[in-house]
Structure 1
Amino acid sequence: MKLISILMMVLLGSVVQAKPDVLLQSTTSWDGGAIEYPQGQAEITTVKLRFEANDEVPFHCHPVPTFGYVVEGTLKVETKEGKTTILKKGDPAVEVMRTVHKGTPIDGPVEIIVFYAGAEGVPNTVFPDKDPEHQHCNP
Structure 2
Amino acid sequence: MYKALNIILVILFTCSLPVSAELLLETETSWDSGRINYPDGRPEITSLILRLEEGVITRFHCHPVPTLGYVLKGKIKVETIEGKTAVFSEGESVVEVMNTLHRGTAVAGPVEVVVFYAGARGMPNTVYPEDSSDACK
Question: What range describes the TM-score normalised by the shorter chain of this pair?
Answer: 0.7 to 0.9
**2-side partners of 1:40 and 1:131: how far apart?**
20
**1-side partners of 2:99 and 2:18: how far apart?**
39
Instruction: Give the % identical residues.
Output: 50
**2-side partners of 1:69 and 1:133: how far apart?**
29
Structure 1 residue runs of 5 or longer lacking an equivalent are none
2:108 corresponds to: 107
CA shift, 1:17, in A, is 4.5
**2-side partners of 1:113 and 1:67: how far apart?**
8
1:11 corresponds to: 11
2:32 corresponds to: 31
| Equivalent position SS for 1:74 | strand
Structure 2 residue runs of 5 or longer lacking an equivalent are none
After TM superposition, what 4+ stretches of structure 1 lie above 6 angstroms from structure 2? none
2:23 corresponds to: 22
| Equivalent position SS for 1:85 | strand
Which residues of 2 match residues 1-139 of structure 1 at below 5 A?
A: 11=11, 14=15, 16-134=17-135, 137-138=136-137
TM-score when normalising by structure 2: 0.87
Tell me how many residue pairs correspond in the alignment: 130
| Equivalent position SS for 1:48 | strand
**1-side partners of 2:101 and 2:68: how far apart?**
16
Letter in 2 for 1:79: T
Provide, for residues 106-138 of structure 1, a one-character-per-residue CA deviation record: whole Å limited to 9, x for no partner: 11111000000000011000001112124xx03
**1-side partners of 2:83 and 2:36: how far apart?**
20
C-alpha RMSD of matched pairs (Å): 1.8
Provide, for residues 23-45 of structure 1, a one-character-per-residue CA deviation record: whole Å limited to 9, x for no partner: 01110000000001111110000
**2-side partners of 1:89 and 1:130: how far apart?**
32
Letter in 2 for 1:11: I
